[in-house]
A = this chain, B = another copy of it.
């Protein structure tokens, strides 16, 4: 087994914990935020800049890499770590979320999912087995099972069907990985199961119980942050986490805002990924200690202060709001580069502070301070 998870601190009052996730490409300190490197690159960032920011693990999208440049090319070139020049841990998703959300969906069958490429319209088929195969070719440290993602809101019937199908796909993914990993030359990534069930606690319980029987190396919560009320998301996260084994890492997929990170760590989550810091950055929305700032706003045209006066990132040390606004208005690449660097720093720094507060037994204090923020 390539993955080992070690809990190094726990908050007695909440479910929050700090851990070490040992992977074949290094150790990740949890709780951790994973920036999204869709096509094998975090948009606008060099790998050296990610290292400087303290990024410990990246998420890459199997769907995008499968279509372009193709997982076989990446396998030939020695896998994604080598291809990207990123010798640190990588997690790949299964491709299912993109397939089911990019409107490229043909149909979901018992066997898998038919979809059309957003690049050229060509038809492709993704099954639980195929998702494992493609991810093995990419060579990530942590891979995700193919699950059925349903939108919010969905009928109980649709949710129930997705939970059951996801359960059967989980077993098939597990079996495929065992079969492929028994080959002597095979790499051995950790496979995570994905709990579905929307905001229906009974379905979440059924989903979790089914996965637990298969004994995954980690468990993800899927189908959240898809439009449900925030309170529901927190509540379902808390409920679901309690069903999961203490000694396995827990990953809340596609979440979230800076506030969500703290709230969901408090509910026992160890891993997060989200496009919010990077996508918002490109749209000129930056996270600061005083809340979000829409930097293209005319009022910043003559503003000499940094994006966030309380921030210690390289962007805030060197550049003004006026300059960054100018770059974004002029459509200059550097605008998106600087806002991305800043936003990622904000997320990574928040995680670092959460973890430190856990290590020092001061999480409750940190939690209430964040809650009081604008």
A: residues with CB less than 8 A from B are 39-41, 43-48, 68-69, 73, 76-78, 83-85, 301-302, 304, 314, 318-320, 322-323, 326-327, 329-330, 332-334, 336-338
- Closest B residue to A334 by beta carbon equals B41
> Among the listed B41, B73, B337, which residue makes an inter-chain contact with A46, where contact means beta carbons less than 8 Å apart?
B337
Q: Is the CB of A39 within 8 A of B336?
A: no
Q: Is the CB of A332 within 8 A of B69?
A: no
Q: How many copies does the complex hold?
A: 2
- Closest B residue to A335 by beta carbon equals B41
Known A40-B327, A44-B334, A83-B323; further 20 A-B contacts with Cβ < 8 A: A39-B332, A41-B332, A41-B334, A43-B333, A46-B338, A47-B318, A48-B318, A68-B326, A68-B330, A69-B301, A69-B326, A73-B301, A73-B322, A76-B302, A77-B322, A78-B304, A84-B323, A85-B320, A333-B333, A333-B336
Give chain B residues whose Cβ lies under 8 Å from the Cβ of A330: 39, 68
State the CA gap A333–B49 with chains docked (Å). 14
Q: For the complex formed, measure the closest distance between the CB of A311 and the CB atoms of chain B, giving whole angstroms.
A: 15
State the CA gap A320–B76 with chains docked (Å). 13
- 6 tightest A-B contacts by CB? A85-B318, A41-B334, A69-B326, A44-B333, A85-B319, A39-B330
- Closest B residue to A86 by beta carbon equals B318
Q: Is the CB of B334 within 8 A of A45?
A: yes
Give chain B residues whose Cβ lies under 8 Å from the Cβ of A319: 85
Give chain B residues whose Cβ lies under 8 Å from the Cβ of A83: 320, 322-323, 326
Given A85-B319, A320-B83, A322-B83, A43 contacting B73 (CB threshold 8 A)? no
State the CA gap A318–B41 with chains docked (Å). 14
Q: For the complex formed, measure the closest distance between the CB of A231 and the CB atoms of chain B, giving whole angstroms.
A: 37
> Can you list 29 contacts pairing A with B, beta carbon distance less than 8 Å?
A39-B326, A39-B330, A39-B332, A40-B323, A40-B326, A40-B327, A41-B332, A43-B333, A43-B334, A46-B334, A46-B337, A46-B338, A47-B318, A68-B326, A68-B329, A69-B301, A69-B329, A73-B322, A76-B302, A77-B302, A77-B304, A77-B322, A78-B304, A83-B320, A83-B322, A83-B323, A85-B318, A333-B336, A333-B337
Q: For the complex formed, measure the closest distance between the CB of A40 and the CB atoms of chain B, giving whole angstroms.
A: 7
